[in-house]
């Protein structure tokens, strides 16, 4: 009733026809475990971070995604680690990748990247290093006394 509704996946076939459940309660598709777009972006990030591959292939893969989305093509001169991370943010929106992407890129806790109310400040602020890890749920700690809570939780 409040906030933003995000409709990323729809229960339609490749031709846009609705799914077979007319009530709309049960989708015909499975939950995506890994999408081809993620594989393309993983390749591009590996290239951008010096892990091998070619810039031309990485740009071509990104442009396949951009073409599908109706976005302008990326040129080889625009290709960079930051451009790939921005592309990941757009393509993988609401799929649970942004936090680990920011941690991997050393932007989650530092002042290098801000968003409103990061660290509880209206304009954002850096946060403690311990936020790179989640706390271990109490029910897990109670079941196994050998597991120790992550520091500062």
For the segment 9-52, what is each residue's pLDDT rounded down to a tens digit?
777 777 888 888 777 677 777 666 789 999 999 999 999 999 99
Question: Taking the model in full, what pTM does it have?
Answer: 0.75
Spell out the residues 6+ positions from residue 56 whose beta carbon is closer than 8 angstroms to its own.
76
Q: Dihedrals φ, ψ of 131, to 5°?
A: -75, -5
Q: Dihedrals φ, ψ of 129, to 5°?
A: -60, -25
Q: Once rounded to an integer, what is the mean pLDDT over residues 70-75?
A: 97
Angle between helix 36-48 and helix 81-91 axes, rounded to 10 deg: 160
What is residue 30's predicted lDDT score, i.e. its pLDDT? 67
Residue with tokens 């809570």: 149
What is residue 31's predicted lDDT score, i.e. its pLDDT? 67
């Amino acid at each position: 009733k409040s906030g933003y509704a995000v409709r990323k996946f729809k229960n339609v076939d490749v031709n846009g026809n609705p799914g077979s459940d007319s009530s709309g309660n049960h989708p015909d598709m499975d939950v995506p475990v890994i999408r081809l777009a993620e594989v393309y972006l993983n390749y591009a990030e590996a290239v951008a971070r010096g892990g091998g591959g070619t810039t031309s292939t990485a740009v071509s893969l990104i442009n396949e995604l951009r073409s599908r989305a109706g976005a302008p093509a990326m040129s080889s001169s625009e290709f960079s680690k930051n451009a790939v991370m921005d592309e990941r943010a757009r393509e993988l929106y609401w799929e649970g990748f942004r936090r680990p992407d920011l941690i991997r890129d050393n932007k989650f806790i530092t002042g290098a990247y801000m968003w409103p109310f990061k660290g509880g400040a209206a304009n954002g602020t850096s946060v403690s290093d311990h936020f790179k890890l989640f706390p271990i749920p109490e029910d897990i700690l109670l079941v196994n006394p050998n597991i120790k809570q992550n520091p500062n939780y």
